[in-house]
Amino acid sequence: MLQKPGATMNTEIRHFLLTQDGQVREFTSEEAALIAAGANRLPEFAERRIRYLQVSWDSEPASELKVQTAGAAIKFDTDGRLLEAAPPSEEEKISRFEHDTCVQWALRGAGVQQPTAH
């Protein structure tokens, strides 16, 4: 992607865990990095497989906001440390409602009004 001279592109990323009982938990990029490195534990998810959604976008002013998302199923060990990440199974697919809710929640502070999905 080409940038204007002197322009800086700043990518914003938000991380979400979606539980089977309908809970959504958001993590900062710093928290997510510590979890991915095994330096942070989530004991409440010990020995569980949880759905994960990452939402990213470029925060530079533009006429059009481009949002990218990526989903996975992540598994935690007995201590609540990240063990593995894999594509979600058919039963673990993230619903359109969950996806759109996470995107809107991630963009809430980005100065975006009423994002529209295409």
pTM value > 0.85: no
d(CA 21, CA 1): 40
- What pLDDT does residue 64 have? 75
Write down the H helix ranges in the chain. 29-36, 96-106
Q: How many residues does the chain have?
A: 118
Q: How far apart are CA 109 and CA 115, in angstroms?
A: 12
pLDDT attached to residue 9: 62
CA distance 71 to 113: 24
Q: How confident is the model at residue 106 (pLDDT cuts 50, 70, 90)?
A: very high
Contact assessment for residue 85 and residue 72, using Cβ atoms and an 8 Å cutoff: yes
